[in-house]
Amino acid sequence: MIFSKRATAALALCSVLLVSNSPLGRALSTKSQNQSQNQIQTHGSGVDRRTAIQRAGIAAAGLGTVTGGGLFLPNASPAVATAAEPAASIHPVATLADGCRFPLASFGLQIYDDSTAYKLTLTALECGYRNFFASVLAGNQKGFARAIKDSNVPREDLYICGSVVSNRVSGFENARQATTKGWKRNMEAFGVGGIDYLDQIMLDYPGPDCESIQGQWTAFEEMHAQKLTRSISVSNFSARQLDCVLEKARVKPVVNQLPYSVAYHPGDAVADNASRGILVQAWAPLGGSLGGRFDKNVKKACGKIGKKYDKSFAQVALRWIVQSGGSFTTQSKNKDHFSEDLNIFDFELTEEEMKTLNSLA
């Protein structure tokens, strides 16, 4: 392993590392896109994948660089910003309400087989991702876990989130039992890759009523008490459903994953969640399956702003999310897009540009 003791010590529990590469446009040729999708290879000659992944982690952390011979050259430790700080000081790592360090950008696995999940997880690691959302709905947690194991990236350098679906069960005890079975299945699947704890477990959908939701949440609190997860969170929860959880919660949710983008941001979701100590994580941040598809007008407006910063329409759209106070989980099968989606922390949208983007929904 290339990491020196000094480098490893500098990486705190729950830290997430993000690499910042030079801007990569979305307007690639069809040939280049096919090559990116079908070939998974390291940058540069004579560098094996394991070395590339480890170097990406160190560089992404801002801790320093690794020379061709594997020597770690440290920099001063980077500051960690909270999500509430002004846009000018947005850092790739935020601090959640429970004190855990959390990446503003993550890779969310989609529905494909374990073999594809394995390959894409290694690609994401190589590009610099250290935060992963491996939902039970994707059905490939074992493939993801095997990739984590084979990457040899230290577990403490990663932020791993699983999920449970138990929303069709009614009643406190039934919901608690179903949710318990769900998180145990998560741990079994992740265990294939030697993952024996999670950084976060997410409740994918709320139960049909408050009593059921509180049963779901109690199961998560029991998992947390066993130190099998550091944080517990929700997805697709309304303000009313959040308040149902908070009414009796011993451990509070710290993230709410919602459909959120420049093309779809109803109400004041970010502010409503922030007032409860919860960070919004956008799913489908570039359009997708629930409303807010990026039509030509949205892409044109984002692209026009992007020209000023040498950024693509997608980078502008993702920057809008973090500058609005949120975070996002993105996905791709294109290696260049993986890198591009991380490279959004080196520019700042103006107030007028934010207003323009706000008006697109």
Residue 330's pLDDT is: 92
Q: For residues 145-167, give the mean pLDDT.
A: 96
Judge whether residue 345 has pLDDT over 70: yes
Other Cβ atoms within 10 Å of 301 Cβ, number: 20
Stretch 78-102: mean pLDDT, rounded?
69
Residue 277 reports pLDDT greater than 80: yes
Which residue has better confidence, 144 or 35?
Answer: 144
pLDDT at residue 305 greater than cutoff 80: yes
For the chain, domains (ranges, CATH) are 93-359 (3.20.20.100)
Which one, of 360, 118, 164, 137, lies nearest residue 263 by Cα?
360
Rounded CA separation 314/293 (Å): 13
In terms of DSSP H, where are the helices of the chain? Answer: 5-10, 30-38, 49-61, 114-127, 141-151, 172-190, 210-225, 239-248, 269-274, 296-309, 313-323, 335-342, 351-358
Q: How far, in Å, CA of 3 to CA of 349, rounded?
A: 36
DSSP 8-state code for residue 276: T
Structure tokens at 343: 């490279």
What pairing do the DSSP bridges indicate for beta strands 159-164 and 93-95? unpaired
Greater pLDDT, 179 or 46 = 179
Over 70: is that where the pLDDT of 77 sits?
Answer: no
Q: What are the tokens at 349?
A: 């949208």
Q: Provide the pLDDT confidence category of residue 160 given band limits of 50, 70 and 90.
A: very high
pLDDT at 66: 38
Query: How does pLDDT run across 58-68, given as a tens digit for each residue?
Result: 445 443 443 33
Answer whether residue 178 shows pLDDT above 90.
Answer: yes
The string of pLDDT tens digits covering residues 15-37 is 333 333 333 333 333 333 333 33
Tokens 């690691």 belong to residue: 125
The set of residues, in sequence order, having a beta carbon less than 8 Å from that of 243 and lying 6+ positions away, is 276
For 104-136, write each residue's pLDDT tens digit.
Answer: 999 999 989 999 999 999 999 999 999 999 999
pLDDT at 51: 54
The pTM score is 0.78
pLDDT band at 361 (very low <50, low <70, confident <90, very high): confident
Q: What is the pLDDT of residue 294?
A: 87
Task: Decide if pLDDT at 179 tops 50.
Answer: yes
Q: How far is it, in rounded angstroms, from Cα 78 to Cα 91?
A: 9
Least confident of 20-24, 153-157, 220-224: 20-24
Query: Above 60 in pLDDT, residue 84?
Result: no
pLDDT at 36: 38
Q: Tell me what percent of the residues of the chain surpass a pLDDT of 90.
A: 69
Widest distance between CA atoms in the chain: 60
What pLDDT does residue 128 have? Answer: 93
Confidence check: pLDDT of 337 > 70? yes
Distance CA 155, CA 352 (A): 42
Taking 90 as the threshold, does the pLDDT of residue 8 lie above it?
no
Confidence band for 356, pLDDT divided at 50, 70 and 90: very high
